[in-house]
Amino acid sequence: MTTPEPRHITPPDRLRRPVASALDLVGWTPLVRLNRVAEGIRTPVYGKCEFMNPGGSVKDRIGQAIIEAAEAEGSLGPGGTVVEATSGNTGLALAMAAASRGYRCIFTMPDKMSTEKVRLLRAFGAEVIITPTDVPNDDPRHYTQWAARIARETPGAVLADQFYNPANPKAHYESTGPELWEQSRGRITHFFAGAGTGGTITGTGRFLKERNPEVQIVGVDPVGSVIASFFHTGQMPEGEVYQVEGLGNDKIPGTLDLEVVDDYVSVDDRSAFAMARRLTREEGLFVGGSAGLIVHAALERAREIDDPDGFVVAVLCDWGEHYLTKLYNDEWMTEHGHPVESVGVRGP
């Protein structure tokens, strides 16, 4: 039997030598073509693998940027505390950056978030306060209101304020956008992303539009979020509870610039979770429900476009291990009304 020659893999320039810290590994995530889930679709669809950032999500890009901006303006100094309202991933990104600088972290999180995210934040030494999900955004128990109060009452604390902090979209304008332009060799035609804060779609969209105004920027919203409806009607509807984490909102975040967005579509929880599980089992891309949400919308639009010269990119927001007790748990899926096809170890 002949032993095959090993594949020669040329590493990116930044991996040819040691880096100063884990934060230097943020960004330049791979762009991977989707194959089996895109079977029968002539338009090429690619996933931007943000789960390959060191903290496992797209939010790694803004954690360091927000802390450095606070240091530069003098609101955060030695022995300070970083406070934020988070669905988990921004908290982890901030905790990573804060750990390297010796800051304390306090995070508020809605109670619908996975236990994995809570445990990850606590592993980094953060204090985590769980708040009710189903309350109005002006209720003092809402996770954003609670975080703001903690920041006001804690000496030396700064509110990261990802929903309104200009450092959020700026980080994507300076990193995610240029990466996609380079990786696609300027051929990108459509960019699909969600908006929790709006930083990813705003910053990336601005950069891509500057390079080519014809690039279509498409927002993807969970059914129950208010953003897609507001985009199309200009009216603010009542938000409803949904199960996908990290995307959508019950208000329009200050960092979301809807002028950059060309279209907005909505996807339900069931379709999002089903696609996330397909991406794992059929593409080997272990992602969370938000990636499933975005890819579902991107594939539907790619089928409509039906153009082999198109270049559709969907953001794969975070790592699936954050959701082992939820969307990758058959019992949880069944309990919440989502059909599953169980695959696992079987007896003799």
Q: Which CATH number does the domain housing residue 150 bear? A: 3.40.50.1100
Please give the model's pTM, rounded to 2 decimal places: 0.90
Same domain, 312 and 190: yes
Q: Respond yes or no: is residue 59 known to be catalytic.
A: yes
Q: Which residues are CB-contacts of 241 (< 8 A; sequence separation ≥ 6)? A: 112, 133, 134, 224
Q: What is the mean pLDDT of residues 136-151?
A: 91
Same domain, 142 and 274: no
Same domain, 177 and 237: yes
Q: Is residue 5 part of a domain?
A: no
Q: What is the mean pLDDT of residues 84-101?
A: 89
CB 195 within 8 A of CB 317: no
Which one, of 137, 121, 56, lies nearest residue 316 by Cα?
Answer: 56
Asked if pLDDT for residue 303 goes beyond 60, the answer is yes
Asked if pLDDT for residue 13 goes beyond 80, the answer is no
Same domain, 106 and 213: no
Q: Which residues are CB-contacts of 341 (< 8 A; sequence separation ≥ 6)? A: none
The last residue of a domain, from among 159, 191, 220: 159
Same domain, 124 and 244: no
Same domain, 33 and 94: no
Q: What is the pLDDT of residue 12?
A: 67
Q: Which amino acid makes up residue 71?
A: E
Q: Is residue 174 part of a domain?
A: yes
Q: What is the pLDDT of residue 10?
A: 58
Same domain, 187 and 149: no
The pair phi, psi for residue 169, each rounded to 5°, is -65, -30
**Both tokens assigned to 16:** 């040819």
Tens digits of per-residue pLDDT, 158-181?
999 999 999 999 999 999 999 999
Asked if pLDDT for residue 347 goes beyond 80, the answer is no
CA distance 345 to 343: 7
Tens digits of per-residue pLDDT, 70-82?
999 999 999 999 9
Place of tokens 């304020």: 161
Tens digits of per-residue pLDDT, 41-60?
999 999 999 999 999 999 99
Tens digits of per-residue pLDDT, 332-342?
999 999 988 75
10-24, 89-103, 134-148, range with the lowest pLDDT: 10-24
The last residue of a domain, from among 159, 193, 222: 159
Q: How high is the mean pLDDT of the chain? A: 91
* Domain span at 207: 13-57+170-335
Q: How many domains does the chain have?
A: 2
**Both tokens assigned to 336:** 């919440």
Same domain, 47 and 190: yes
Q: What is the mean pLDDT of residues 117-133?
A: 91
Give 226-230 contacts, CB < 8 A, sequence gap 24+.
226/250, 226/251, 226/252, 227/195, 227/252, 227/256, 227/264, 228/264, 228/265, 228/266, 229/266, 230/258
Q: Which of 59, 209, 251, 326 is catalytic?
A: 59
The last residue of a domain, from among 130, 159, 188: 159
Same domain, 178 and 306: yes
Same domain, 128 and 188: no
Which one, of 200, 304, 311, 305, lies nearest residue 261 by Cα?
Answer: 200
Q: Is residue 347 part of a domain?
A: no
**Please, which pLDDT band fits residue 11 given cuts at 50, 70 and 90?**
low
Alpha helices in the chain (DSSP H): 60-73, 89-99, 115-123, 143-153, 167-174, 176-183, 199-211, 227-233, 269-283, 289-305, 330-335
Tens digits of per-residue pLDDT, 320-334?
998 999 999 999 999
10-14, 62-66, 222-226, range with the lowest pLDDT: 10-14
Same domain, 181 and 287: yes
Q: Is residue 241 part of a domain?
A: yes
**Both tokens assigned to 119:** 């445990």
